[in-house]
Amino acid sequence: ALNNMSASSIEYSINSSKLGPRNAEVAYNVIYHTVLAGDIQRNIVIHLTNEDGGWKVQWEDGLILPELAGGNLLRMDYSVPARGDIYNKDGQPIVSQADAFAFGIQTEQIDDKRRGVLTDQLARLCGYTQKYIEDQIDANGPGWYLPMCEGTRDEALSLLSVSPGGLVVTEYKSRYYFGNGIAPQSVGYTLSIPPEQYDAYRRLGYNGSEKVGRAGVEKWAEKYLAGQHGGVLHVFSPGGQPISTLGQSDPKPADSVYLTLDGNMQKYAQQAIEFYRGAIVVMEVDTGRILAIASGPRFDPNYFDPANKNYGAISDFNQPLLNRATQGQYPLGSAFKPITFSAALESGLYLKDTTYDCQYDFAELTDRVLHDWTWQHCQDAIAAGKFCNTSTTKPSGVLTLQEGLMRSCNPYFWHIGLDLYKNWNRGNDIANMARAFGLGAQTGIGEVEESTGQINNPPSDVDAVNQAIGQGDMQVTPLQVARFMAAIANGGTLFRPQIVEKIQPIDGSPVLVFKPEAQGVLSLNPNNLTSLQEALLMVTQNSRGTAAFKLRGLQFDVAGKTGTAESGNGLSHAWFAGYTLNKENTGKPDIAIAVIVENIGEGSEYAVPLFRAMVETYYYGSPQSVPSFGPIGQPPYTPTPLGGGQGNQP
């Protein structure tokens, strides 16, 4: 009865009571606050009997509502508005209610003479390579249905006009996710109401058959995207005859959600990371507005529609549903060194010009010797029959603190970590600085699920040394990293990352509009912040900087830090996090970008080119250079999930 009424809450009061040795009665007033039928208020009398020393209710359905006495029933006739749409910041649709078409291949129906046409057309539409589709056909053989992707009516008509044998086109009405999923881990998806939440949704006015947001913006914006259901609450006799109407309400159309995402930036961010496990986050430094947020590998939310035969195509092997941009938790590697740099300056024990002789080995710990990344490069050169006489194979030598960050000298930062911990009783300084940079806590994005990460105080000198270069038990998310890089760029303000630009009703003004939300400031005095900004610029512009080689020829000023984090599970994670410095020259807001690629190798080799591609896309409209490991949008490399580590890399 509560479900049928859409009763969100109940209010009651006792009016009177009569008590006898064996019988009692209580008069009470009850108010059902319903979502669809308004408040329903009744005065009711309940009778009780004392049996074996305990009071028992003389039950009848009229104790719920007098109208239900004699076996009468409640029934709600629902009016459900169409679910609202989701758009990018330019008004291009990301999700809408639409006629959709699922495309697949029935292998035994393939016309061998036109097989190339079939695979070519599907490759163009679905974003696969033609060889990939050919391999799937050969591997499965005749008698199999191979799901490919989804598309619009125009795309279906275009495919059918070619008439390749073996093509299967299935039409269905559904919530359609354009582009086979734009930022799918952040936009989210809809599914049927789970059984354990069925009653709760019915009390909110749902009839129980709807699909509801189960992740990302779809879940966060449910109250906007679902609209206001309408309903008429009837009383029916046991034989099904209408008796009376208890209340009613009219439906109200759903609102639309506009995201901050830039369609072009998002497209290229997805193409850059979709064949890897990793993430890219692009954020305006002065607002917290997210322009692109990509997690790889991605998935197609259209697969969740029961009318679509592709549901089984979502594999858990690489966890495509995990939003690595906000939920992936990783050691940060050398991209953490700006925080150690900051803690060193703020301690007053180091100046930007304090020097350290950066050699291959670090022998200040009593029980072990650690090696700089240049030592590993030297070993690789020797194994290849070469000499250790290049800038990446010989020791960096005497460096100032700023140059130590530029060269990503591990021994210098190990020394800082050990010095603060062991000699000055300041072992928590680096962890405290990391927390002040927003690590180890949620960013407050709200619209998207996120993880907290982890920053612990080091319990030993070894832990302090590891933490100083972003290793050990540290865990951070790419969103946290983009956020603190944005704060460095804008002068120290930590903004709340946001992905919703506005909530727009069909008529009238927006009910929610993006506003920058400052949440805190970096714990750096202005001079030390300037020193950090200078050092990060040296990383990209000085010929000895660890990112300079892969950024040569870039026509825009950028600053940042490379990172190569040991994963403990195969090849290292490649990081690069940085920001642009071109607002005055271009008139466009400066942006911060965080890139991680899991289990692939060095940040300077793999993450910096993707960072560059995002910068070029922001200013030119598309990437202008091809990464050395393969073109954007094609699967040039399959990361090895297991294997040996690569040592401490920049």
Mean pLDDT, residues 538-560:
96
* Helix extents (H) in 75-129: 115-126
- The phi, psi pair for 58, rounded to 5°, reads -80, 90
- Determine the Cα–Cα distance for residues 390 and 156; give it in Å rounded to an integer: 56
DSSP-based three-state secondary structure for 337: helix
Cα distance between the two ends of the chain: 64
Q: What is the mean pLDDT of the chain?
A: 92
- Per-residue pLDDT reduced to its tens digit, 357-390: 999 999 999 999 999 999 999 999 999 999 999 9
Smallest CA-to-CA distance from 341 within 389, 282, 408 is with: 408
Structure tokens at 426: 């300041």
Whether 482 has a pLDDT exceeding 70, the answer reads yes
Per cent of the chain over pLDDT 90 is: 80
**The 3-state secondary structure of 501-524, one letter per residue:** EEEECCCCCCCEECCCCEEEECCC
pLDDT at 631 over 90: no
Give CA separation, 469 vs 104, 254, 404, 418, 421, in Å.
49, 49, 12, 11, 14
Instruction: With beta carbons less than 8 A apart as the criterion, state whether 5 and 37 touch.
Output: yes
Task: Round to whole Å and give the CA distance between 94 and 84.
Answer: 11
Find out whether 286 and 589 touch, Cβ atoms under 8 Å. yes
Band of pLDDT at residue 195, cut at 50, 70 and 90: very high
pLDDT band at 159 (very low <50, low <70, confident <90, very high): confident
pLDDT at 639 (0 to 100): 37
Percent of the chain at pLDDT exceeding 70: 94
CA 69, CA 353: separation in Å to the nearest integer? 87
User: Mean pLDDT across the stretch 474-496?
Assistant: 98
DSSP string covering 405-445: HHHT-HHHHHHHHHIIIIISS-TTHHHHHHHHTTTTS----
Q: How much is the pLDDT for 497?
A: 98
Do the Cβ atoms of 406 and 542 come closer than 8 Å? yes
Q: Per the structure block, which two tokens stand in for 648?
A: 């401490």
Quick check: 643 pLDDT over 60? no
User: Taking the model in full, what pTM does it have?
Assistant: 0.87
* Lowest mean pLDDT segment, chosen from 319-328, 341-350, 400-409, 621-630: 621-630
What does each C-alpha distance from 231 to 81, 119, 244, 628 come to in angstroms? 11, 49, 14, 60
Q: Flag whether pLDDT at 315 surpasses 80.
A: no
* 579 pLDDT tier (thresholds 50, 70, 90): very high
Give dist(CA 262, CA 290) in Å, integer.
8
Which letter does DSSP use for residue 543 in this model? T
Report, as an integer, the average pLDDT of 153-178.
Answer: 84
pLDDT score recorded for residue 27: 96
Work out the average pLDDT over 120-131.
Answer: 86
Q: What pLDDT is stored for residue 144 in this prediction? A: 86
- In the prediction, which pLDDT does 46 show? 96
Task: Say what the pLDDT of residue 274 is.
Answer: 86
Q: What is the pLDDT of residue 160?
A: 83
pLDDT tens digits, 232-274: 999 999 999 999 999 999 999 999 999 999 999 999 999 999 8
pLDDT at 78 over 50: yes
Supply 451's token pair: 């993880």
